[in-house]
Amino acid sequence: MNRQVSRLSLWLLLAPFLLWILLLVLVPHLQMLRVSFQVRESWDTLEWGLSQYRNFFTESYYWRTFVRTGVMSLFTTFLTLLVAFPVAWYIAKLARGRSKGFLFLACLIPFWASELVRTYGWMILLRESGVFSAALQALGWADGPVEMLYNDIAVIVGLVYNGLLFMVVPLVTTLEGMDDTLVEAGYDLGGGHLTVLREVVVPWAMPGIVSGCIVVFMLTLGSYLTPILMGGKDSAWFTQQIFTQFITRFNWEQGAALGVLLLVLSSLMVWLGLRLTGQSLRKVMG
């Protein structure tokens, strides 16, 4: 009797989690997978087939965008790491007491606004009639208005900015756990700044680096607003094509195939990243 009650309460406790996994993760993805293998013969007949996937490989626009998105996401992740590491080091090791909390908050504040607002913020700064352009003209460094939006650099700037917090947080957490005397020992035994960073600090921070990189890479790969708004009409991002298939062209089958490919790509990159750095997912996310 008692055993049955405790079993029931266990199931009740698990129910929200199981429902979430089932309804919001498993069912939609399986459905996507199913749709991606269906070929529309006419308006009411569907056949199983690979034509959507064939389209992806034969239509160079698709896979070029796909590769471009992957490469730019990798580059953005790397850049985010470079920017976030000194910030995280300062917060974890140099800032004390109140200033530490304040700096952490300062990293968080931009995320109180939505991605859309943050991106428009960048557009106000970078556009032809924007703040930077006006400043350059006022200083006499430019003759006319300068357009800084609608290129790949602008897209990467926006993406790095969006990813920064998700890199800083895991880095601060791992770096805070590091004993300062490890760094001192690194110097004491004859190491210079670069050696200590490479041999002592980075290996220690590896779980934080990898987990930050995974999160930022996934976010970047799947971001939609920033590349569209800041990249302009020439900038192709893979999520944009999925959107086009689903919404503009109403071609759910092709959209589903592209979605599955994106999922495979991101999973593959994460697996590769973990493999190359010798980390395990449990250690990184634990």
Residues that bind other proteins (CB under 8 A): 179, 181-182, 184-192, 195, 199-200, 203-204, 206
The answer to whether the beta carbons of residues 168 and 91 sit under 8 Å apart is yes
Query: What is the rounded CA–CA span in Å between residue 201 and residue 194?
Result: 10
User: Residue 8's CB: how many other CB atoms inside 10 A?
Assistant: 10
Q: Based on CB atoms, which residue is closest to other proteins, 47 or 184?
A: 184
- Minimum Å gap between C-beta 177 and other proteins is 11
123 or 274, CB closer to other proteins?
Answer: 274
Own/partner pairs for 119-124, CB < 8 Å, 24+ apart?
119/158, 119/225, 119/226, 119/229, 119/230, 120/229, 122/154, 122/157, 122/158, 122/161, 122/230, 123/149, 123/229, 123/230
The beta strands (E) that lie in 90-144 are given as none
**Comparing C-alpha atoms, which of 87, 221, 231, 223 is closest to residue 165?**
87
Residue closer to other proteins by CB (options 174, 223) is 174
User: Which distant-in-sequence residues (6+ apart) come within 8 Å of 170 by Cβ?
Assistant: 207, 208, 209, 211, 212, 215
Smallest distance from the beta carbon of 96 to other proteins, in angstroms?
14
Q: Looking at beta carbons only, is 111 or 187 nearer to other proteins? A: 187
| Shorter beta-carbon distance to other proteins: residue 201 or 262 | 201
CB closer to other proteins, 25 vs 189 = 189
State the Cα–Cα distance between residues 156 and 231, nearest whole angstrom.
9
Cβ proximity of 206 and 274 under 8 Å: no
Closest separation in Å from C-beta 208 to other proteins: 13
Q: Which is nearer to other proteins, 200 or 218 (CB)?
A: 200
Q: How far is the CB of 53 from other proteins (least distance, A)?
A: 43
**Minimum distance between the CB of residue 187 and other proteins, rounded to whole angstroms?**
5
Asked if residue 51 lies in contact with residue 274, where contact means CB atoms within 8 angstroms, the answer is: no
Tell me which residue has tokens 């298939």.
Answer: 245
Give least dist CB 183 to other proteins, A.
Answer: 9
CB nearer to other proteins: pick between 47 and 176: 176
CB of 215 to other proteins, least distance (A): 22
Question: Is the distance from CB of 242 to CB of 66 less than 8 angstroms?
Answer: no
Residue 88 Cβ vs other proteins, minimum distance, rounded to whole Å: 18
